[in-house]
Structure 1
Amino acid sequence: MRFGPIPVVEAEGCVLAHSTRLNGETFKKGRILSSDDIAALEGCGLETVSVARLEIGDVLEDQAATRLAAAAANTGLRPDPAFTGRVNLFAAHAGVFTADAEAINSANRIDPSLTIATLPDYSSVEKGRMVATAKIIPFAVHEEDLKAAEKAVHRSLTLHPFKAHRVGLVATRLEHLKIATMDKTRRVLEDRLRPSGSTIISENRTAHEVTAVADAIRQQLSLGAELLALFGASAVVDRDDILPSAIEKAGGTLLHFGMPVDPGNLLLLGSVDGKPVIGAPGCARSPKENGFDWVLDRLLAGLTIAPEDITGMGIGGLLMEITSRPQPRAPKPARQSPKIAAVILAAGKSRRMGGPNKLLATLDGKSLIRRVAEAVGETGFAQRILVTGHMAEAIEQETADLGIAPVFNPDFEEGMASSIRKGIAELDDSIDAVMILLGDMPGIDAKVMDRIINTYRSSATAKIVLAAAGGKRGNPVLWDKTFFGDLSNLVGDIGARHLIGANPDVLEQIEIGDPARQDLDTPEALQAAGGKLPV
């Protein structure tokens, strides 16, 4: 391929190097110039144009990217159509993505014009997640280089689908450990298992003693458990501690203790009757990512784990609260009618109100929560969810006739993040985006919601659309499904502000004025707005 400026009259059949605007029309770069195009360029007075001239043996960028991606894909991956020399590969199922690093590096070193980039090896992904991208840098590459890259990268990328497992849970008790903590631990584990379709078939809460734990392990196996999770009331600190000793007493084998992943250092892995047994570190009681996830997900995907696999997790094993950004190279899918859900957060305790639940306060004779719920009902959402917590029954009664599905958040006291996680977990697989609304913002009506939805639908790039007042961000916020994974991992009581701040390139703000930042958290603010506290 030869590149550079040539007379316009000689450019027919060449590839346009730079986008060129002509009398209101734009010829985009990469365009194969036709005789009509040449006439149009000459008609605008252009004498030269920068082009790429193909030579014998050259393969155009889109064709080359398609071939490279097809060669790399093994099983469980779906390509999208080539665009601007790029083909993205997506997970056809939820599962664990693996990449042969040696193969990818070999292909990338054949020629700088041929590239392939992937997620990290053993990444856990949801269905539809982009896992790799093949990109051709110039407008064409030579056939010989492309064939070499195809050979090097052959079937190097695989998506191992999750498989549903019957999981047995054994949790030990000590005086200091609250029942509420054990209940939450089970719920967190259920959330981790949900993407694979796995379920807890039984939970055995037993004394923190070797014999008691060994008996519980045998009981879970007799019930048909295919994988066991052990949560100790006290951390495992040695290979001869309670949980590892119990695995051996149950007739099993201790495979490994300790891992170079933080949080997650104190993970224990064993086997009883050929069934994997994971001794969970204390951090696994939290939904935040830790070493337990890395081991559990591989097992749920049918992958074996040896001690050398665990000891090889050190690079990248220092886990921090880092937002996983959406795939910037993945264009927003062009959906005819994207399915959008609404999640109303109505679980809080209204602490600043001094006792009464502000959602039951009235404005012009109607409760705040009902005002928001009615507006949601007037908008064409494909799914409507109400997340309750404090005074759940009273909140549900206020909206019972509006066709909004209530879901109780047992962890509502942890803060807003727990309610967002609960709402996201309830979304149907077919949902493309979700609008998250606060139950105490009566100024957000159906017209506002429609404006946000229409902006999302009409924009080629917006994956976050929010209401604003005077340029300041407010609520509600609409999220593309790209962010569902991030929203499912939120913690604390600050919502998803950090996600918004970290992704300005896919953000759209809709100016609606004061309702976007209306705060009715105190009796004074409610009274000033003309509202009345519930009796």
Structure 2
Amino acid sequence: MTKELLTPRTGEVAGLLLAAGGGRRLGGRPKALLEHRGRPLVEHAVRVLRAAGCARVHVVLGAAAATVRARASLPGCVLIDNPDWEEGMGSSLRAGLASLRDSGADAALVSLVDQPGIGPAATARVRAAYRSPSTLAAASYDGTRGHPVLFGSAHWAGIGTSAVGDRGARAYLRDHADAISLVECGDVAEAYDIDTARDLSRLEPAPDADGRERPPMAPHGE
């Protein structure tokens, strides 16, 4: 391996949080507004990106976007409304990358709002894989590729063309598999999704005033 590949490169890696999902399998509860540690889940996801070193964070909203803006505290974030969010993750990824094109960022570190088991340690590892605008990197969990994913700006146009439906960048990553740097994160994170009512038990309750956690509330409709 050459020194070029071993030496980290400077460049702005912006955080890109996809938070548009409507929670269809959660009875239509927007994922960004699910409560985690007493606050909307979108706040937690933004804090993770910032703690991992992303000074710039763009957040793509969709379902109940106006309510998310009203309830969530997201200071300093660029908020993008995706009117086509019901088409799937691909439309949100396209909207997010488009919002970064003239920002001066050299790469986008893409995370999903419904993965609270992935914290700053794993996110920072993937961010550190940046070398140049041609970098492609992704977290892996016991060898299986997952999120977050880092897209150097040289890939944004190609991803935007191929990102359709719920596949996101899957087709682009498959076609460029040899170029992806996998960053093992299974020792510091769990890559579960909050997709169904059963998954809601993974969300943590808010602490009491004395710092102790309150028992979680039963999900709506149960």
Range of TM-score over shorter length: 0.7 to 0.9
1:477 alignment counterpart: 149
CA RMSD of aligned residues (A): 2.8
1:448–1:397 Cα change, 3 Å: farther
1:467 alignment counterpart: 139
Q: Which whole-Å deviations, capped at 9, do the CAs of 1:188-243 have from their partners, x for residues lacking one?
A: xxxxxxxxxxxxxxxxxxxxxxxxxxxxxxxxxxxxxxxxxxxxxxxxxxxxxxxx
Q: Which whole-Å deviations, capped at 9, do the CAs of 1:140-191 have from their partners, x for residues lacking one?
A: xxxxxxxxxxxxxxxxxxxxxxxxxxxxxxxxxxxxxxxxxxxxxxxxxxxx
Which amino acid counterpart does residue 373 of structure 1 have in structure 2? V
Per the TM alignment, residue 382 of structure 1 is displaced from its structure 2 partner at its CA by 4.5
Q: Which whole-Å deviations, capped at 9, do the CAs of 1:341-382 have from their partners, x for residues lacking one?
A: 111111111101122223322233233211111122333325
1:38 alignment counterpart: none
2:37 alignment counterpart: 364
1:57-456 alignment, distance < 5 Å:
336-427=9-100, 428-456=102-130
Q: Which whole-Å deviations, capped at 9, do the CAs of 1:364-409 have from their partners, x for residues lacking one?
A: 3233211111122333325211111110022223443431111101
Matches of 1:429 and 1:357 in 2, distance apart? 28
Per the TM alignment, residue 336 of structure 1 is displaced from its structure 2 partner at its CA by 4.8
In the alignment, is the contact (CA less than 8 A) between 2:21 and 2:31 conserved in 1?
no
- Structure 1: state its 5+ residue gaps: 1-25, 27-330
Normalising by the residue count of structure 2, what TM-score does the alignment of the two structures yield? 0.80
Matches of 2:179 and 2:190 in 1, distance apart? 20
Per the TM alignment, residue 461 of structure 1 is displaced from its structure 2 partner at its CA by 10
1:10-29 alignment, distance < 5 Å:
none
Matches of 1:382 and 1:462 in 2, distance apart? 21
2:192 alignment counterpart: 518
Please give the secondary structure, in 2, of the residue aligned with 1:394: helix
1:504 alignment counterpart: 177
Which amino acid counterpart does residue 142 of structure 2 have in structure 1? G
In the alignment, is the contact (CA less than 8 A) between 1:373 and 1:402 conserved in 2?
no
In the alignment, is the contact (CA less than 8 A) between 1:461 and 1:506 conserved in 2?
no
Which amino acid counterpart does residue 378 of structure 1 have in structure 2? A
In the alignment, is the contact (CA less than 8 A) between 1:379 and 1:446 conserved in 2?
yes
In the alignment, is the contact (CA less than 8 A) between 2:134 and 2:155 conserved in 1?
no
1:148 alignment counterpart: none
Matches of 1:336 and 1:371 in 2, distance apart? 28
In the alignment, is the contact (CA less than 8 A) between 2:109 and 2:150 conserved in 1?
yes
Matches of 2:31 and 2:74 in 1, distance apart? 20
In the alignment, is the contact (CA less than 8 A) between 2:35 and 2:203 conserved in 1?
no
1:534–1:354 Cα change, 3 Å: closer
Which amino acid counterpart does residue 181 of structure 2 have in structure 1? E
- Structure 2: state its 5+ residue gaps: 205-215
1:324 alignment counterpart: none
Per the TM alignment, residue 462 of structure 1 is displaced from its structure 2 partner at its CA by 7.4
Please give the secondary structure, in 1, of the residue aligned with 2:178: helix
Per the TM alignment, residue 452 of structure 1 is displaced from its structure 2 partner at its CA by 0.9
| Total equivalences in the alignment | 203
Which amino acid counterpart does residue 450 of structure 1 have in structure 2? A
Please give the secondary structure, in 1, of the residue aligned with 2:158: helix
Higher strand share: 1
1:462–1:488 Cα change, 3 Å: closer
Normalising by the residue count of structure 1, what TM-score does the alignment of the two structures yield? 0.35
